[in-house]
Amino acid sequence: MAINPPSDILSEVARAADPTRYQAATRTLLQGPTSAGEASFEDTVRTISARPIGVGADIYQIRNSMRNDAETAAATRSQKAAQDFEAFILQTFVESMLPKDAENTFGKGSAGSIWKSMLAEQVGAQVAKAGGVGIAKYILSAKK
């Protein structure tokens, strides 16, 4: 019987490790620091441990599962970035379309201009969230 040390060592480590905790740790590290509204590491571990890979999973199944998780997370991040960019462009368009002399609507001075800017920001964000005008789709298709 021949021994292939690197693959045997990796196989033994993969069998000894808890794959659900390893996936949860990898996913959490890929996502970066959590904000106050996101799930904690412990919550992620509990969620992931509810759907284990399976008894006897080999290192290749674990690697492929982790790769798929990382690709999905990267695709979600790039889609969010493209949507945020489209929202910013739409905010600029909406703000330029709002009336300049509407002090009765927006208020006077700095407060009025800030309120007007915040209104344009929210309108742009909601339009982008609802599908936008195609800027995000174009950016994502040009990336490939």
Query: 67 vs 7, 24, 137, 141, CA distance in Å?
Result: 19, 13, 24, 22
What pLDDT digit, counting tens, does each position of 54-104 carry?
A: 555 667 777 777 788 888 888 888 889 999 999 999 999 999 988 888 777
Domain ranges of the chain: 1-57, 78-144
pLDDT at 106: 78
pTM, two decimals, is 0.51
The torsion defined by the Cα of 18, 24, 28 and 30, in degrees rounded to 10, comes to: 80
